[in-house]
A and B are shown apart, each in its own frame.
Chain A
């Protein structure tokens, strides 16, 4: 019976679940840890990962999720229920990988036990009939070479079971060790990921040039933390963004591509102040917490005065970049005026008028900055208590009372007495601050997984059977071999042994596949 037929037979013979509860769980466990189930779960985890790479994900960009929902209102409800905007945190994705982990553990533990028990296992006894194995051959020997054969086999690191005139040599035991280390490492990585998710925190902040940031929860624009995260575990540092420098490609080739970002900060930690640069790919680390430079944008400084020439608003405003050339949108809300005031603005660092699309930015640097604004009066809708985006003006209860474009230094006087001055342009940098106490374990898991895989895939388990028969003064050696993996030719091992004993010539390399 071939191996495949055997497997088929086993599969059709899987017993039905017994009627008692204990038997049922035993049956369930058996099913869950079977290789067919494991493969099915592997396939499912791959399939389940797909929608998260195509649909926008909350974990990556809330803004893009919102845009998608606006474009596809009919699907929102059902997609939301299925967790399709947070696939990797959804119940069904978790269910699949938890089942996969259980299956993995159920597979590794029994094998670990077997491996441990057979740590010093000696190969099985030589079968009676060795002619049916691979590479069978008979060779005439000089009288007492049996000892030297054993010596060579030991030198080639075979484990031997010698009984009288026959022996079995086996090697490749590290294959199983490698496989076990690999699979155990995958479990370690999963534990590290889960542990990290419980204790980590990750937040983003936007800091304008000349402004500072103190590491506490109120200062974050966006903050995610694990269930067991404690606020007092956050290191108590403060930094101040002195200067943000950015350099864009000016040549025709890849014009506008970023070439360098440097955020120069003054960092205060544990009573010490030092000046450091944060670069992309070069985060700084404070007590295990890392600060990364993740983005940047423009913050035009705008001043609004009322008809009595009193300042009602004066600040630099963070504008959200919309494209590679940094067309950016921003909003000013002045709720204390009556009626309330809102300004919808679009900032173009290098403004040009495109005949088709109107004003566009053609370069991300500040070559010819312009600010396009619309002035709104009415009810901002901020008093109802529903949270609003700071980048969006709710204009349904407002009236537009003016439109204007300004260059830095220019002032716009409106008919209603207000005036708006575009003073200058500042920059902001966005940083990510993150802490994951378990990432070292994940790395260790990854390294062990690689090592385990190296042994598990690279080493093959195989046996050589050998028999010596002596008639009068003539000795005859019979030998053959058995490989446990389809790709390994045990004939090569037999040949290597015979070459070492000077009984054969090395195989010519076969140029055929």
Chain B
């Protein structure tokens, strides 16, 4: 079996595991104890999913002899990995098993779409992507996407929480503060992704900023999260209002990822779909 098909197999396993996890995490959420056995099992399975996805990515890289994010399928795979990884890294220090369902559900959807819609067999890069900036720029984008996804999950939970759902979860206030911290982490990385993208654009296309649709939406995303931070610090927005700003920011990310990559013609059309 070559590394490409081995990678595919690992992705299928990840989908299977995530489907099981989705059930386990929802059962755990409906139980009354804070860290139930079910949620611990689900947490362990999430680690396994993370390892499988990480391996799947490495194998794609090995198959093509390059960073494994050269088309939309690989980028989606890497983003799923980043989402799970962010979740797992936080879980080392904090009990956030309750967030599981809101991490696994989007990952499952994204993995499903990757396999069904976006799949491309591993291959060499198109010339436009042959640059060391691929590693720097895209890695930063993937990490911040992962973290913004966590913020999205937390924002949704917050909105349920203030309606008195999920009683055993941490207080709404704690969730709100934590989701703010996640943006504090993700925003500088996103800024770096935009800046490194501009540097790459200068060396590939002859201008550092050209309002290409992808650039425009990266800018819009940046502005929304900048507004998120400013509104919290200066005019005291928090809670519900902040949660909605976070959700709007994430909508911009999703729009940029799917709509712009697939339906809008621009310089970033590397979808390979």
Report if B170 contacts A (CB, 8 A): yes
Smallest beta-carbon distance B145→chain A, Å: 18
Report if B220 contacts A (CB, 8 A): yes
| Bound complex: CA A25 to CA B88 (Å) | 54
Q: Tell which of B13-21, B22-30, B109-117, B127-135 binds the partner.
A: B127-135
Across-interface contacts of B216 in A (CB, < 8 A): 49-50, 52-53
Q: Produce 1/0 per residue, A220-261, CB < 8 A to B.
A: 000000000000000000000000000001010110011111
- CB pair A512–B227 under 8 Å, yes or no, is no
Q: Tell which of B37-45, B100-108, B192-200 binds the partner.
A: B192-200
- CB pair B212–A50 under 8 Å, yes or no, is no
| Bound complex: CA A264 to CA B126 (Å) | 19
- CB pair B188–A52 under 8 Å, yes or no, is no
| Bound complex: CA A261 to CA B174 (Å) | 54
Residue of B nearest to A293 (CB): B127
- CB pair B211–A253 under 8 Å, yes or no, is no
Q: Produce 1/0 per residue, B250-270, CB < 8 A to A.
A: 000000000010001110000
The interface size bin for chain A is: 35 or more
Contact status of A254 and B192, CB under 8 A, knowing A7-B235, A57-B211, A442-B208: no
Q: Tell which of A39-47, A327-335, A378-386 binds the partner.
A: A39-47
Across-interface contacts of A258 in B (CB, < 8 A): 126-127
- CB pair B207–A434 under 8 Å, yes or no, is yes
Across-interface contacts of A257 in B (CB, < 8 A): 123, 126, 272
- CB pair A513–B235 under 8 Å, yes or no, is no
What is the predominant secondary structure among interface residues of chain B facing chain A? helix
Which of A45, A259, A281, A450 touches B195 (beta carbons < 8 Å)? A450
Across-interface contacts of B160 in A (CB, < 8 A): none
Report if B51 contacts A (CB, 8 A): no
Smallest beta-carbon distance A176→chain B, Å: 12
Of listed B229, B231, B272, residue having the most chain A CB within 10 A: B231
Residue of B nearest to A193 (CB): B209
Report if A290 contacts B (CB, 8 A): yes
- CB pair A253–B120 under 8 Å, yes or no, is yes
- CB pair B128–A280 under 8 Å, yes or no, is yes
Smallest beta-carbon distance B180→chain A, Å: 6
Across-interface contacts of A457 in B (CB, < 8 A): 184, 187-188, 229
Across-interface contacts of B230 in A (CB, < 8 A): 35, 38-39, 42
Across-interface contacts of A46 in B (CB, < 8 A): 219-220, 223-224, 227
Q: Produce 1/0 per residue, A253-297, CB < 8 A to B.
A: 110011111000000000000000001111100000010101000
B window 154-178: CB within 8 A of A: 170, 174-175, 177-178
- CB pair B211–A511 under 8 Å, yes or no, is no
Report if A443 contacts B (CB, 8 A): yes
- CB pair B95–A512 under 8 Å, yes or no, is yes
Report if B62 contacts A (CB, 8 A): no
- CB pair A432–B205 under 8 Å, yes or no, is yes
Q: Produce 1/0 per residue, A35-74, CB < 8 A to B.
A: 1101100110110011011100101100010000000000
Q: Produce 1/0 per residue, A154-189, CB < 8 A to B.
A: 000000000000000000000000000000000000
Report if A413 contacts B (CB, 8 A): no
Smallest beta-carbon distance A317→chain B, Å: 25
Smallest beta-carbon distance B194→chain A, Å: 9
Report if A446 contacts B (CB, 8 A): yes
Which of A49, A64, A251 touches B220 (beta carbons < 8 Å)? A49
| Bound complex: CA A49 to CA B260 (Å) | 14
Residue of B nearest to A447 (CB): B195
Which of B210, B224, B233, B272 touches A60 (beta carbons < 8 Å)? B210
Interchain Cβ contacts under 8 Å between A and B, 27 examples: A4-B236, A46-B220, A46-B223, A49-B211, A49-B219, A49-B220, A50-B220, A53-B211, A60-B210, A202-B207, A254-B120, A257-B272, A258-B127, A260-B127, A281-B127, A281-B128, A283-B206, A434-B206, A439-B202, A443-B199, A446-B198, A454-B188, A457-B184, A457-B229, A487-B184, A512-B95, A512-B170
